[in-house]
Structure 1
């Protein structure tokens, strides 16, 4: 199911880029926001349970992680969770992206 769910998300993104004037940056932001909204409405967690990594790895999964982490932290520590929840929930993924991006930049010589 991970392949099916992840594939459908990718197909939707490709169709948005091919059939609308949206740029890849617009689609990126749209997917993160839609994932966050669906998470806030309780609609994304069932998709995660059904599709696993197929739902958490693509961009809507990042929006889901931000919102679910914020809600969890609000329930734990109150209003301060608004500021810390999203950072705690997404810190590992953001750190990995920065570190691997740095390693790729140092390792490979770009053409320019």
Structure 2
């Protein structure tokens, strides 16, 4: 049942984002930034954690989850290091995800031989 719940919640998030892209003139990059910032703000307001516990991977995998991870990292680093934690926390918390994206993106480019469009 956890898989179904994660699939449904993640699908609803993706459907809402697709509607936002279709109905507005916002570019995809701006929508992605909006999602990350929304996840950080929801984490700040202590709304994201209960939502994530309910939805599981359906809430932690999309960009909302990335924003929340950044917020949690900054919060922990500020508690530990003070003001400098603002700059350190996001990098430490998101390093694994960013490295995985780079490695798998590289492997995909080597495997599938990408070409420039003509």
TM-score (norm 1): 0.92
Which of 85, 101, 109 pairs up with 2:105?
A: 101
Which stretches of structure 1, 4 residues or more, deviate above 4 A after TM superposition? none
Give the Cα–Cα distance (whole angstroms) in 1 for the partners of residues 96 and 69 of structure 2: 11
RMSD: 1.2
Q: Deviations over 1:38-86 (max 9, x none)?
A: 1111111111111111101001111000001110121223222212111
Equivalent in 7, 10, 17 of residue 11 of structure 2: 7
Q: Which runs of 5+ in 1 are unaligned?
A: none
Partner secondary structure for residue 50 of structure 2: helix
Number of residue pairs matched by the alignment: 112
1:13 is displaced (CA, Å) by: 0.3
Match of 1:70 in 2: 74
Q: Distance in 1 between matches of 2:65 and 2:103?
A: 20
- 1:91 is paired with a residue whose SS is helix
Which segments of 5 or more consecutive residues in structure 2 lack a partner in the other structure?
A: none
